[in-house]
């Protein structure tokens, strides 16, 4: 069994800070075709150019579970259902939802933490207490937690570039409450990936699958170990 993990595909028909994001979907299909995973996990930020036709092309290749981040076409994500499963399984996981695959239990918290604005461009955001509240419902029930937002961790690329504040503290508190073996997230673009063992024992894995860094993770559930970060 093989699970492919991506985050922040950022599929958009534009150049952003000198990076052409229009090739993101073709890049994703290429790595799916190369690895042939049994499951694709996305930690959100598919991008605004995601559309029904191309997404169905992906679903004909691989089963997909996803949360949403803060750069999405939610109208598309909410309509997507897996076509390689016998059941009517949505692609988008709900807050606090738990799904099982290959003996592992996966839990979801959607979106990012915001201290003021409740949504932007139609994408809901959570106050710190709401975010932590979802995590409390997952405590003791999951092996892997899917987040889009990231806590602050003490690694060189975060120091001086990522705020250690109430927002990131809420994400850290949510992980502490849920107590998964592994937390998967994205949102930050300071480096291609970060792997870090949190104080609560959880293995923190962040990947940046944008066209700037083009990284992803491979998980092998049989061993319950994370594979190396890979870049084709």
pLDDT higher at 167 or 19: 167
Instruction: Judge whether residue 187 has pLDDT over 60.
Output: yes
> Cα–Cα distance between 31 and 48 in angstroms, integer?
21
> Cα–Cα distance between 182 and 204 in angstroms, integer?
6
Min mean pLDDT across 9-13, 22-26, 149-153, 220-224 is at: 220-224
pLDDT confidence bin for 34, thresholds 50/70/90:
very high
| C-alpha triplet 55, 63, 112: angle, nearest 5° | 70
Instruction: Judge whether residue 20 has pLDDT over 70.
Output: yes
In the chain the first and final C-alpha atoms are separated, in Å, by 20
pLDDT confidence bin for 18, thresholds 50/70/90:
confident
Q: Tell me, which fold does domain 3-230 have in CATH? A: Purple Acid Phosphatase; chain A, domain 2 (3.60.21)
pLDDT confidence bin for 229, thresholds 50/70/90:
very low
> Cα–Cα distance between 133 and 142 in angstroms, integer?
15
CB 215 within 8 A of CB 5: no
pLDDT digits (tens, 9 = 90+) for 53-62: 999 999 999 9
- Mean per-residue pLDDT, 122-142: 97
Instruction: Supply 60's token pair.
Output: 């004909």
Q: What is the pLDDT of residue 14?
A: 80
Instruction: Supply 95's token pair.
Output: 């807050």
pLDDT digits (tens, 9 = 90+) for 58-95: 999 999 999 999 999 999 999 999 999 999 999 999 99
Instruction: Judge whether residue 231 has pLDDT over 60.
Output: no
- Mean per-residue pLDDT, 140-144: 97
Q: What is the pLDDT of residue 2?
A: 96
Which spans in the chain are helix H? 24-35, 52-59, 74-77, 128-138, 166-178
- DSSP one-letter code for 126: B
Instruction: Supply 103's token pair.
Output: 């003996």
Tell me the whole-structure pTM to 2 decimals. Answer: 0.94
pLDDT confidence bin for 110, thresholds 50/70/90:
very high
> Cα–Cα distance between 205 and 150 in angstroms, integer?
10
pLDDT confidence bin for 223, thresholds 50/70/90:
low
Residue 95: name the closest of 136, 41, 64, 63 by CA.
Answer: 136
- Mean per-residue pLDDT, 162-172: 97
Q: Which string of DSSP letters, residue by residue, matches 36-83? A: --SEEEE-S---TT--HHHHHHHHTT--EEE---SS--HHHHTT-B-S
> Cα–Cα distance between 224 and 202 in angstroms, integer?
13
pLDDT confidence bin for 222, thresholds 50/70/90:
confident
């Amino acid at each position: 069994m093989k699970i492919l993990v991506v985050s922040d595909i950022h599929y958009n028909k534009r150049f952003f800070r000198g990076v052409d994001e229009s090739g993101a979907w073709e890049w994703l299909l290429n790595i799916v075709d190369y690895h042939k995973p049994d499951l694709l996990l996305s930690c959100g930020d598919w991008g605004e150019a995601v559309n029904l036709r191309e997404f169905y092309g992906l679903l004909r290749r691989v089963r997909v579970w996803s949360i949403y981040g803060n750069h999405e076409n939610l109208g598309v994500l909410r309509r997507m259902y897996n076509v390689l499963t016998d059941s009517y399984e949505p692609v988008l996981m709900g807050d606090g939802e738990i799904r099982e695959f290959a003996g592992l239990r996966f839990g979801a918290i959607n979106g990012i933490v915001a201290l003021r604005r409740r949504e932007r461009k139609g994408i809901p955001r959570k106050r710190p207490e709401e975010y932590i509240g979802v995590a409390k419902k997952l405590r003791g029930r999951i092996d892997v937690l899917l987040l889009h937002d990231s806590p602050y961790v003490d690694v060189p690329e975060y120091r001086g570039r990522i705020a250690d504040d109430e927002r990131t503290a809420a994400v850290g508190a949510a992980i502490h409450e849920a107590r998964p073996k592994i937390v998967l997230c994205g949102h930050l673009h300071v480096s291609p990936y970060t792997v870090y063992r949190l104080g609560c024992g959880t293995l923190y894995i962040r990947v940046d699958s944008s066209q700037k860094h083009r990284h992803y993770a491979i998980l092998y559930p049989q061993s319950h170990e994370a594979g190396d970060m890979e870049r084709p």
